[in-house]
Structure formats: structure tokens, C-alpha cells
């Protein structure tokens, strides 16, 4: 136990969108916890860099260049990770994109692209890696959604709709695959500084205004999300199924803290 606090040593794990940001943090976290990591991303060189980082730190990893909207490519990636390390019993659905635009004028192509990566990609990966888990006797799915799943977001409505879909996809899988000993849970990050969100924080005053609205008084880091994902992937959460954990420094509990109050 002392050398394996998460119970993840020897587990075979695949993380999608693992070349950057939150996915990279999750992949490095699994590597450090002793798991063998499939580093899946459509950015092949980026995936190779993260896999090399895990190996340089003494861990096991394989880069899986793959677009999560391409069912054949996902099947090939699942085969590759199984050939390298054995059946994959943990999948972290994380690859995501942002395509801002008001719903009144959002082009259909951007709507379709966003749903295809952020929702259909999660379904396709769950279906393919889930088959490997079923054959292996069980597993754990962890889906990265967002606080935007439950809160409409100005000018990124397609993103919120897709994330709400992820929340239901996870609950549906928890129900449908429980008899296969496969759990399915969601992590909802709040404001996390990554490549996806960096341009927002580059604007003057944004960081200060956001920190002021977050009870924990800081912007989150990929490691904040990674630790929660490791818990949901591990046997330490064996009775947690169909759940959602929000990792937002208390932001979504702060509605009443954001309005002017009497001075008492
Ligand atoms: N950063 C935040 O504040 C925040 C908040 C809530 C939720 N999230 C979610 O966390 C996840 C990761 O976001 P991030 O901030 O780390 O973004 P990021 O842009 O840093 O990383 C996303 C990764 O996904 C990969 N990717 C994109 N499309 C892909 C595809 N079709 N196939 C394979 N890989 C693909 C990218 O190459 C990249 O490596 C996303 O699902 C995002 O919606 C982020």
C-alpha cells in the first residue's frame, strides 16, 4: 500500500487529448502513480513528447497519434495500447476544443465540429476502450466535462450543450455497463489555465477578476484535475459510479457571494 497509495501500479490507462493542458497533467499523474499510459492525441509529436516525459521519469507510456472523431483510428490506438501493455482498463475522455460563437449565428460546420470532438469523440472512445475493459473483467471511465455542462455560458453555447451531453453519456454508461463491472464518472473542471484558456487570461484584468470570484482565490492548474481523475480511476473509488465531481475552487457555489450585500 505504501508504494501504491492509489492502487494504480500496473494499471493500463489511456488519456485522450494528453499532449497538452489538463490531459497532459493527467497522463503525467498516472505515470507517476505507476500506471502504463496510452498518451492519445491528434497532435502526434505532442503525444510523443508527453510519453517521453513519463518514460524519462521512470514510468511506462506509449504515444497514440489519433483523432477522436475517427472510429478506425481509435480502434487502432486501442489495439496499440493493448499490444504494448495488455488490456486498457481505464479511459480518460478529455480531448476537447472550444469554438466560440453566438448560437444565433454559429455556422453549422463549427457546431458539428465541436459536437463531434467533445461529445461523439467521448462516445466512440468509450465504446472502443469499453470493449477491452469488458473482455478484461471491468474498468473505469472518467470523462472530463466542465462547469459549463450545468451553466449556460455566454458565446460558447455549443460547448455547454456538448458538455451537458457528456454528463448524461456518463450516467447512461454507468447504468448500462455496471453489470460488466465498468464504472463511469465525470469531473467538472472550473477555470484552469491551459493552452485552451490562455488567451482569455492574456487580456488585462481577467485573472484578477476571475480570482476575485473564486472562493479558493486562485485559478486552477491541471494537477488539481489530475488528482481527482486518479481517484475516480482507482480502486479507492470502487463504489463511486455515475457521479460528478466539480473541481472549481468553489466557484459554482459562489452565486450569492457575487452580488452586493448589506455590510454585516
Ligand atoms: N481549461 C479549462 O479551463 C477547462 C475547464 C473545463 C473543462 N475543460 C476541458 O478539459 C479538457 C482539456 O482541455 P485543456 O484546457 O487541457 O485544453 P488543451 O487545448 O490544452 O488540450 C486539449 C488537447 O486535446 C487535443 N485534441 C483536440 N482535438 C482532438 C481530436 N479531435 N482528437 C484527439 N485529440 C484532440 C489537443 O491536441 C490538445 O492536446 C477539454 O475537454 C476541456 O473542455 C477545460
Domains located in the chain, CATH noted: 12-244 (3.40.50.720)
Locate the ligand 1 atom nearest the alpha carbon of residue 118 and give its number: 41
Find out whether the beta carbon of 139 lies less than 6 Å from any atom of ligand 1.
Answer: no
Chain segment 24-67, per-residue pLDDT in tens:
999 999 999 999 999 999 999 999 999 999 999 999 999 999 99
Spatial neighbors of 36 by CB under 8 A, at least 6 apart, are 10, 11, 12, 13, 59, 60, 61, 62, 84, 85
17 lines ligand 1 (CB under 6 A): yes
Q: Quote the ligand 1 centre to 196 CA distance (angstroms).
A: 6
Across the chain, mean pLDDT equals 97
With 80 as the cut, is the pLDDT of residue 2 above it? no
Distance of CA 94 to the CA centre of its chain: 3
Partner residues linked to 247 by β-bridges: 189
Centroid of ligand 1 to alpha carbon of 171 (angstroms): 21
Residue with cell 505504501: 2
| Helix residue spans in the chain (DSSP H) | 21-32, 44-56, 71-85, 108-115, 121-136, 157-176, 198-202, 206-213, 222-233
What pLDDT score was predicted for residue 262? 85
Burial annotation 185-224 (CB, 10 A radius, 16+ → b, else e): bbbbbbbbbbeebeeeeeeeeebeebeeebeeeebbebeb
Whether 201 sits among the annotated catalytic residues: the reply is no
Render pLDDT for 207-243 as a digit per residue (tens, 0 to 9): 999 999 999 999 999 999 999 999 999 999 999 999 9
Position 261 scores a pLDDT of 87
Q: Determine the pLDDT at residue 263.
A: 81
Distance from the alpha carbon of residue 181 to the mean position of ligand 1, in angstroms? 28
Percent pLDDT > 70 in the chain is 99
Give the bridge partners for 225, in sequence order: none
pLDDT digits (tens, 9 = 90+) for 159-178: 999 999 999 999 999 999 99
Say how far apart CA 113 and CA 123 lie, in whole Å: 15
For the CA of 116, the nearest atom of ligand 1: 31
Cell of 243: 457521479
Q: Residue 248's pLDDT is what?
A: 98
Counting ligand 1 atoms within 8 A of each CB, the residue from 15, 17, 129, 228 with the most, and so the one to mutate, is 17
Amino acid at each position: 500500500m505504501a508504494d501504491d497509495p492509489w492502487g494504480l501500479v500496473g494499471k493500463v490507462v489511456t488519456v485522450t487529448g494528453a499532449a497538452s493542458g489538463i490531459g497532459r497533467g493527467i497522463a503525467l499523474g498516472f505515470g507517476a502513480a505507476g500506471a502504463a499510459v496510452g498518451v492519445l492525441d491528434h497532435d502526434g509529436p505532442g503525444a510523443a513528447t508527453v510519453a517521453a516525459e513519463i518514460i524519462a521519469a521512470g514510468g511506462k507510456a506509449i504515444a497514440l497519434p489519433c483523432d477522436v472523431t475517427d472510429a478506425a483510428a481509435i480502434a487502432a490506438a486501442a489495439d496499440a495500447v493493448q499490444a504494448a501493455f495488455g488490456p486498457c482498463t481505464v479511459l480518460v475522455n478529455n480531448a476537447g476544443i472550444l469554438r466560440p460563437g453566438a448560437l444565433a449565428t454559429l455556422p453549422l460546420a463549427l457546431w458539428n465540429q465541436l459536437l463531434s470532438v467533445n461529445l461523439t469523440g467521448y462516445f466512440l472512445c468509450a465504446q472502443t476502450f469499453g470493449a477491452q475493459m469488458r473482455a478484461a473483467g471491468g474498468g473505469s471511465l472518467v470523462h472530463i466535462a466542465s462547469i459549463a455542462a450545468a451553466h449556460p455560458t455566454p458565446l460558447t453555447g455549443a460547448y455547454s450543450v456538448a458538455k451537458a451531453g457528456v454528463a448524461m453519456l456518463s450516467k447512461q454508461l454507468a447504468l448500462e455497463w455496471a453489470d460488466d463491472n465498468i464504472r463511469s464518472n465525470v469531473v467538472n473542471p472550473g477555470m484552469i489555465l491551459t493552452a485552451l484558456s490562455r488567451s482569455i487570461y492574456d487580456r488585462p484584468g481577467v485573472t484578477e477578476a476571475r480570482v476575485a470570484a473564486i472562493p479558493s482565490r486562485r485559478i486552477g492548474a491541471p494537477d488539481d484535475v489530475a488528482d481527482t481523475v486518479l481517484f475516480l480511476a482507482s480502486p479507492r473509488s470502487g463504489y463511486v459510479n455515475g457521479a460528478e465531481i466539480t473541481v472549481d475552487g468553489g466557484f459554482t457555489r459562489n452565486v450569492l457571494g457575487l452580488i452586493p450585500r448589506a455590510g454585516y
